[in-house]
Amino acid sequence: MGKVITINRKELFPDEITETVVTKNNIKLNGYTDIAQTKFQPLNERLNEFDKYKILFMKKCNIGGFVNGAEFDSFLRKYETYAYANGEYDYVFTLGNIKGVIPRAALKRLKKSTPVKCSGISVNLVEAIILLIKNSNKISINSGWFSNLGTDLRNAWLQGHNVDKNADWIKFKNTKGAKLKNIELKIQDDDYPSGYILMSLSSRGFLHTNSSIRDSKFLEIAKEIIFAIEDAIELSDDLDKDDDL
The count of C-alpha atoms lying within 13 angstroms of the C-alpha of 199, restricted to the half-sphere facing its C-beta, is 24
Confidence of residue 31 (pLDDT cuts 50, 70, 90): low
pLDDT of residue 69: 64
Beta bridge partners of 155: none
- What is the pLDDT of the chain when averaged over all its residues? 90
Q: How far apart are CA 30 and CA 28, in angstroms?
A: 7
The answer, yes or no, to whether residue 85 has pLDDT greater than 80, is yes
Could you tell me whether strands 21-29 and 65-67 are parallel, antiparallel, or unpaired per DSSP bridges? unpaired
Q: How far apart are CA 59 and CA 245, in angstroms?
A: 6
pLDDT of residue 239: 46
Report how far apart, in Å, the C-alpha atoms of 1 and of each of 5, 60, 99, 211, 219 are: 12, 21, 8, 10, 17
Confidence of residue 153 (pLDDT cuts 50, 70, 90): confident
* Cβ within 8 Å of residue 98, ≥6 positions away: 1, 4, 79, 81
Beta bridge partners of 141: 185
Q: How far apart are CA 147 and CA 177, in angstroms?
A: 9
Which is nearest to 119 in space by CA: 130, 105, 131, 129?
Answer: 105
The answer, yes or no, to whether residue 244 has pLDDT greater than 80, is no
Q: How many CB atoms lie within 10 A of CB 189?
A: 15
Q: Which amino acid is at 203?
A: S
- The pLDDT tens digits for 199-219 are 999 999 999 999 999 999 999
Q: Please give the residue that has the higher pLDDT: either 36 or 220.
A: 220
Lowest mean pLDDT across 52-61, 68-77, 93-102, 169-178: 68-77
Residues present in the chain in total = 245
The count of C-alpha atoms lying within 13 angstroms of the C-alpha of 90, restricted to the half-sphere facing its C-beta, is 11
Lowest mean pLDDT across 8-22, 61-75, 164-178: 61-75
Q: How far apart are CA 198 and CA 192, in angstroms?
A: 11
Q: How many CB atoms lie within 10 A of CB 143?
A: 19
Reduce the DSSP state of residue 98 to 3 states and report it.
Answer: coil
% pLDDT > 70, the chain: 90
- The pLDDT tens digits for 189-200 are 998 889 999 999
Q: Packing angle between helix 125-135 and helix 215-228, nearest 10 degrees?
A: 100
Do the Cβ atoms of 81 and 206 come closer than 8 Å? no
Reduce the DSSP state of residue 192 to 3 states and report it.
Answer: coil
Lowest mean pLDDT across 23-27, 126-130, 205-209, 238-242: 238-242
The answer, yes or no, to whether residue 19 has pLDDT greater than 50, is yes
Q: How far apart are CA 106 and CA 8, in angstroms?
A: 12
DSSP H/E element including 127: helix 125-135
- The pLDDT tens digits for 40-81 are 999 999 999 999 999 999 887 777 776 666 666 666 789 999
Confidence of residue 242 (pLDDT cuts 50, 70, 90): very low
pLDDT of residue 70: 66
Stretch 27-47: mean pLDDT: 85
